[in-house]
Amino acid sequence: MSSEYPPPSGYGQQDQYGQYGQSKPRNGLAVVALVLGIVALLLSWIFVGVVLSIVGLILGISARKRVRRGQATNRGTATAAIVVNVVALVASIALSIVWIVAGSWFLNNGGQDYAQCVANAQANNDQAAVEQCARDFQQDVLNNS
* 79-121 confidence digits (pLDDT tens): 999 999 999 999 999 999 999 999 888 888 888 888 888 888 8
Which of these, 61, 87, 57, 83, lies nearest to 72 by C-alpha position? 61
Contact 29/59 with Cβ under 8 angstroms? yes
Domain count for the chain: 2
Residue-range definition of the domain harbouring residue 66: 23-98
124 shares a domain with 87: no
Does the pTM surpass 0.75? The reply is: no
Q: Is residue 61 part of a domain?
A: yes
115 shares a domain with 75: no
Residue of higher predicted confidence among 81 and 1: 81
Q: Is residue 11 part of a domain?
A: no
118 shares a domain with 91: no
83 shares a domain with 113: no
45 shares a domain with 76: yes
136 shares a domain with 76: no
Q: Is residue 5 part of a domain?
A: no
> Tell me, what's the pLDDT at 114?
87
94 shares a domain with 38: yes
Q: Is residue 13 part of a domain?
A: no
Q: Is residue 7 part of a domain?
A: no
CA of residue 43 relative to chain centroid, distance = 5
114 shares a domain with 70: no
Q: What is the pLDDT of residues 4-60, one digit of tens each?
A: 665 555 455 555 555 555 554 677 999 999 999 999 999 998 889 999 999 999 999
81 shares a domain with 28: yes
Contact 77/31 with Cβ under 8 angstroms? yes
125 shares a domain with 89: no
For the chain, report the end-to-end CA distance as a whole number of angstroms: 92
